[in-house]
Amino acid sequence: MRRASFADASPDAAAAAFNRIFTGYLRPMSFTPEQLELHVELNDIRTSRSPLWYDDGGNVIAAAMLGVRGARTWIGGFGVAPEYRGSGYAKQLLAHIVDEARSCGAAEMSLEVLSENAPAISLYKTAGFRTARTLRSFFRESPEAEMPPGYRYEDPDLFVDLPDEARPCWQREPQTIHHGAVTTAVAGPEGAYAVYRWNAQRAQLFKLRAHSGEQLDSLTRAVAADRSISGLLLVNEPAESPIAKYAAAGGWSEPFSQYEMRLTL
Ligand SMILES: CC(C)(COP(=O)(O)OP(=O)(O)OC[C@H]1O[C@@H](n2cnc3c(N)ncnc32)[C@H](O)[C@@H]1OP(=O)(O)O)[C@@H](O)C(=O)NCCC(=O)NCCS
């Protein structure tokens, strides 16, 4: 086995490796080289501390990505190539990435795992991770495009550092947004706002505040009035947040949910 890291791989090789380890995953998971580079940049992935292991024939065995923010670390991708699963590689890989995090001086590690991914949940629990909370993901088709009275477009920078009602997941933290994740914001009455990015034909919501289901609905109509979209996406919303309750009550579909798991290092 050859132990390298993502820092040694070209963008094409990195994306091919990432897609390889997610073969047969519960949800389609495929990155272009550009999408993977964006993932690395937005989420503070340290490629030199992100293991990429090959067999003697140069085929990928296993790989993982480590995000680092001060004393906090995050696993932003983890997997074993299909032909090597069930042979103990995931255990070795997890031990390795935990060592990498410790050697950065980190105090904790977190990750998200699909709630139905029983093999991965079992792996993480065995390594000492505990389930911290549930993150829900929502989608709704584009509503009627209409700028409701009292709503306006704003500079997203006005909102990025405002306190959140529920602690955001890693991929929606202010650090991610400051790295350029979002493009636009809309604001409404009583401090309601939505900060989002265009992602293919959809608007992906990163940070938002609403005081009722009606306000959430008005925000989505204002977003739809900005540009023609097929729908709005809200990924990894903490289950305890008011927004999750409004989205669920408002009939948004819920394509998947995840557990946020944590390990004290
Ligand atoms: C989840 C995954 C990483 C496990 O890799 P692996 O190399 O097969 O795992 P290992 O052989 O090292 O097994 C480690 C532990 O994982 C768990 N595990 C692995 N396969 C399992 C299965 N089919 N059912 C239940 N638990 C399983 C067990 O806890 C196992 O420990 P044990 O052997 O002492 O019971 C692998 O299936 C994979 O890459 N899946 C696709 C990508 C993915 O889901 N990544 C996780 C994203 S959060």
Residue ranges covered by each domain of the chain: 2-106, 137-258
Tell me how far the alpha carbon of residue 89 lies from the centroid of ligand 1, in angstroms: 9
Atom of ligand 1 minimally distant from the CA of 90 = 12
- The pLDDT-based confidence of 110 (bands split at 50, 70, 90) is very high
pLDDT of residue 100: 97
State what percent of residues in the chain have pLDDT above 90: 95
pLDDT of residue 109: 98
Burial 116-150 (b: 16+ CB within 10 A, else e): ebeebbebbeeeebeeeebbbbbbbebbeeebbee
2-106 shares its CATH topology with 137-258:
yes
Distance CA 140, CA 231 (A): 6
Is the confidence at residue 200, as pLDDT, over 90?
Answer: no
pLDDT of residue 146: 87
Q: Which residues pair with 31 in a beta bridge?
A: none
Whose C-alpha lies nearest to ligand 1, atom 24?
A: 119
- Residue pointed to by tokens 């919501």: 205
Distance CA 221, CA 207 (A): 16
- The pLDDT-based confidence of 70 (bands split at 50, 70, 90) is very high
Contacts of 118 (CB under 8 A, 6+ apart): none
Atom of ligand 1 minimally distant from the CA of 94 = 12
Residue from 198, 195, 209, 203 nearest 158 by CA? 195
CATH architecture of 137-258: 3-Layer(aba) Sandwich (3.40)
Q: What is the pLDDT of residues 215-244, one digit of tens each?
A: 999 999 999 999 899 999 999 999 999 999
Mean pLDDT of 7-17: 98
pLDDT of residue 181: 87
Is the confidence at residue 183, as pLDDT, over 90?
Answer: no
Q: For the domain 2-106, what is the CATH code?
A: 3.40.630.30
pLDDT of residue 199: 87
Is the confidence at residue 15, as pLDDT, over 90?
Answer: yes
* Residues flanking ligand 1, CB < 6 Å: 21-22, 25, 78-80, 85-91, 113, 117-120, 122-123, 126
Tell me how far the alpha carbon of residue 85 lies from the centroid of ligand 1, in angstroms: 7
Is the confidence at residue 21, as pLDDT, over 90?
Answer: yes
- The pLDDT-based confidence of 52 (bands split at 50, 70, 90) is very high
* Average confidence score pLDDT of the chain: 96
pLDDT of residue 35: 96
